[in-house]
Amino acid sequence: MVLPLSKLKSKIVAKILLVENERLNMKLVELGIMPGVQLSVQNKAPFKGPLSILVNGTKVIIRSSEADFILVETD
Amino acid sequence: MAAETIKIALLGNPNIGKTTLFNMLCGLKQKTGNYPGVTVDQVQGFLSHEHRDLEIIDLPGVNSIFPESEDERVVYQYLTQKELQSRPDKVIVVVSALNFKRNLYLFHQINDLELPVILVVNMLDAGRKRGIEIDLAKLQSAVNCPVVGISAKTGEGIDTLKALLIDETPISQAKVENYLLDINEKDFLVASTKDGFTKPYEYFLHLLFTEASEKIDLLTAGQKNLRQLRVNESIIRYKNINSYFSDVYTENRTKATDISTNLDKVLMHPFWGYLIFLAIMFIVFQSIFNFAAIPMDWIDSTTTASAGLIEQTLPEGYFNSLLTEGLIPGIGGVLIFIPQIAILFFFFSILEETGYMTRIVFLMDKLMQRFGMSGKSVVPLISGMACAIPAIMATRTIENRKERLITILVAPLMTCSARIPVYVILIALVIPDTYYGPIGLQGIVMLGMYLLGIFSALFSGWVFKLFLKFEEKSYLMIEMPRYLIPSLRNIGISVWTNSLAFITNAGKIIVATSIILFVLATNGGDKFNDASQIENINYPELSSEEFDTKVAALQLENSYLGVIGKTVEPIIEPLGYDWKIGVALLSSLAAREVFVGTMAIIYNINSEEPMTIKEKMQKEKNGTTGMATFGFATGISLLLFYAFALQCFSTVAVTFKETKSYKWTGIQFAYMGVLAYFAALIAYQILK
């Protein structure tokens, strides 16, 4: 199933397919977050606040408005 | 020939124990100065090893060399500055075993800048506990530069590192293929030399930063833009790291008991997380008042007593008065801060060291966006409760220009510690010392002042958000460090250096203003010099003691200080202030804390016996009405004035330094002044 990261349920492992924003992609790639990499959502702040995602063994905070642009695929 | 000092730059990602290593190497031998060529503060430390003097420059923690935030710009500019002799002799890149792959990314960027690089792998002990093993020998042959593994907390490997620091370090080997695929290498090198660059990677970065689209178009035959070049660089670098990573790094996952994840379940919880955050803040501020009260009283009475003692021992005269009525009360006004400053920095360094600060960013981001700021603004704003100066400097981590500017503009509204003594004395004067059960009314008012600071900062942020227009879209992307037990040594050093910096900075201003005030208060025109004859005619029947008081009062009123105060009196009268408060306002324009010292000096000159400042202010009567000068309405009006007005030259200076704009520095000073004047005016007119 393909869905934006912002819609992914907590603790479900998914794979990044595509980042639909050039500038965002540029910043994510620096953190090693690029298509093909596996990730999962760990924590969600209330009222559509930021998400913390576990990727490459590290937790990273991103805004849910940014997560909208990240397309992921689950099994 | 004496060997020259070796200059070493220390750099790495945030939260990798870089400061712990810096403290381990230099101890208390550190100071804050300016980067040559770049006007931002740097922390320098000194040590010597084997008769060689070493100078360590602690650069801000960054995630990559691409300058998005001000911190990254600082690192980039420092490493690529034009004056070759101000460049460092060596660069230590620190990476953490806990976040190894990500940290290597920055290392490879630095490595391609062709500098004498030493790679330091920190947190080996914490890594081992989590089942992480790093083969340093294999790493060294993979990256082709000196590698040393350490644990900055326990001191493991520090001696090996020191030995490497005084040894000759080879210049790192760069390869164009490490970062560039889409440009013909020969063309690129030719262009680089033509534009005067000796190091190709520096040229590559230069093209990206100056957004030299035309040149990039030319070099890539219009195939790539600069964002794509950057993305490609990142992908190639991770590919390179992956090529040796599994040989070097092994992680035994069965050993990894992830305490961090479990803690985050609670500390980042949508309900409990916020409750715990509030509770922590509450504990911090309770401690400041409860623990600091005793040493503060002690400092206050000691300064009063020592002034009394010196007055009696030294021969009478102008110098005696200058010391006991000018300088000592003034210095006492600075010393009284130490307990609170120390406690505040104690808690802040714990929050920082444990990794909790990043969780605050997570919790607060959504809320802060409503007020034109980001989650990253919370840490500067909380630091603003210690002092606006580090707060404004801490905004450098905010990449977005609009969010950063708003945070700078509103940060001085947070209740900084310089306001505390002013609040403490005014609250003690006008708020009754009654208790409702265990809760004191004065404490509630104090808490109210803190809340006022927070709400006015948020409100101002919201207003600025409406008016400021910036194109740039804001992002939030931060790595969360794992929780760590704070190092006592780091906390101790942070408390010590910050308190010391505060005392020396505030001390300079206060000693100077104290002397100026005293001279202005004890000299004057004709009426000042003839005060005793005038009062002799007016009150011939008074006893000598009462007569002396009358003379002193008339003298003060006609001193140069009195004349200045009288001049501003019409402007501040609607706020409920007399000319003496006017003098205090003017003199504390440079620094708020001067208020208490000025009060002490002005009232000292009038009085015979040594009293604490509070006693003096309590006794003070308004010359025209005969009412107590510090009545309820005036007290509240003054509290509000000090809550809003930007009476701190250091803040003005640091705002200018960080914004590099007269306009925004001016706007900040003006909007806070207007807010202060009208809040005080309205409060006094309603309450009087």
Digit-coded pLDDT (tens) for B565-610: 889 899 999 999 988 888 888 878 777 877 877 777 777 655 555 5
User: Please, are residues B6 and B89 in contact by the beta-carbon 8 Å criterion?
Assistant: yes
Task: Chain A: give the shortest CA distance to residue B28, in Å.
Answer: 33
What residue in B sits closest to A51 (Cα-Cα)? B362
Q: CB-CB: which of B68, B268, B366 is closest to A52? A: B268
Interface check for A27 against chain B (CB to CB < 8 A): the answer is: yes
Task: Chain A: give the shortest CA distance to residue B68, in Å.
Answer: 10
The pLDDT of B639-654, averaged and rounded, is 89
What residue in A sits closest to B258 (Cα-Cα)? A57
| Distance of alpha carbon B548 from alpha carbon B647, whole angstroms | 35
Query: Contact A52/B480, CB-based, under 8 Å?
Result: yes
CA distances from B401 to B359, B370, B443, B468 (A): 23, 16, 38, 11
Is the model more confident about B528 or about B241? B241
Is the model more confident about B24 or about B334? B24
The pLDDT of B375-403, averaged and rounded, is 85
Q: How confident is the model at residue B37 (pLDDT cuts 50, 70, 90)?
A: very low
User: What local confidence, expressed as pLDDT, does residue B36 receive?
Assistant: 39
ipTM of the complex: 0.95
Which distant-in-sequence residues (6+ apart) come within 8 Å of B467 by Cβ? none
B-proximal residues of A, 2-21, CB under 8 Å: none
User: What local confidence, expressed as pLDDT, does residue B38 receive?
Assistant: 40
| Distance of alpha carbon B77 from alpha carbon B80, whole angstroms | 5
**Dihedral sign computed on CA atoms, order B419, B424, B425, B426:** positive
Is residue B98 classed exposed, middle or buried when 0-12, 13-18 and 19+ CB atoms within 10 A define those classes? buried
Query: Contact B270/A60, CB-based, under 8 Å?
Result: no
**Lowest mean pLDDT segment, chosen from A34-48, B4-18, B519-533:** B519-533
Tens-digit pLDDT profile for residues B548-573 = 777 777 887 888 888 888 898 999 99
User: Please, are residues A56 and B251 in contact by the beta-carbon 8 Å criterion?
Assistant: no
Return the residue in A59, A64, A69 with the most chain B beta carbons within 10 A, the one to mutate for interface testing: A59
Chain A residues in contact with B270 (beta carbon < 8 A): 44-46
Chain B residues in contact with A41 (beta carbon < 8 A): none
Interface check for A39 against chain B (CB to CB < 8 A): the answer is: no
Chain B residues in contact with A31 (beta carbon < 8 A): 63, 102, 477, 479
Interface check for B240 against chain A (CB to CB < 8 A): the answer is: no
User: What local confidence, expressed as pLDDT, does residue B597 receive?
Assistant: 73
Q: How confident is the model at residue B299 (pLDDT cuts 50, 70, 90)?
A: confident
As given in the structure block, the two tokens for residue B252 are 């035994």
In DSSP terms, B47 is beta-bridged to B54
Q: Which residue do the tokens 């003839």 mark? A: B530
Percent of chain B scoring above 70 in pLDDT: 93
| Distance of alpha carbon A29 from alpha carbon A24, whole angstroms | 9
Query: Contact A63/B105, CB-based, under 8 Å?
Result: no
Q: How is residue B614 annotated by DSSP?
A: H
How does the average pLDDT of chain B come out, rounded?
85
Tens-digit pLDDT profile for residues B72-107 = 888 888 888 877 778 889 999 999 998 899 999 999
In DSSP terms, B250 is beta-bridged to B133
User: What local confidence, expressed as pLDDT, does residue B624 receive?
Assistant: 57
Tens-digit pLDDT profile for residues B205-261 = 888 888 777 888 778 777 778 888 889 999 999 999 999 999 999 988 766 566 777
Q: How confident is the model at residue B34 (pLDDT cuts 50, 70, 90)?
A: very low
Q: How confident is the model at residue B39 (pLDDT cuts 50, 70, 90)?
A: very low
Q: How is residue B153 annotated by DSSP?
A: T
**Lowest mean pLDDT segment, chosen from B15-24, B305-314, B320-329, B351-360:** B320-329
Interface check for B171 against chain A (CB to CB < 8 A): the answer is: no
Q: CB-CB: which of A34, A43, A63 is closest to B264? A: A43
As given in the structure block, the two tokens for residue B652 are 């003005």
Pairing mode, strands A14-19 and A38-44: antiparallel
The pLDDT of B532-559, averaged and rounded, is 77
| Distance of alpha carbon B24 from alpha carbon B45, whole angstroms | 10
Q: How confident is the model at residue B487 (pLDDT cuts 50, 70, 90)?
A: confident
Of the candidates B299, B282, B285, B281, the one whose C-alpha atom is nearest the C-alpha of residue B337 is: B299
The pLDDT of B663-684, averaged and rounded, is 96
As given in the structure block, the two tokens for residue B460 are 């101002």
Buried-exposed string B249-266: b where 16+ CB fall within 10 A, e elsewhere? bebeeeeeeeebeebbee
Q: CB-CB: which of B63, B363, B480 is closest to A30? A: B63
Tens-digit pLDDT profile for residues B153-185 = 889 999 999 999 998 888 888 888 888 877 788
- Kindly report the pTM of this predicted structure: 0.81
**Lowest mean pLDDT segment, chosen from B37-41, B383-387, B676-680:** B37-41
In DSSP terms, B249 is beta-bridged to B134
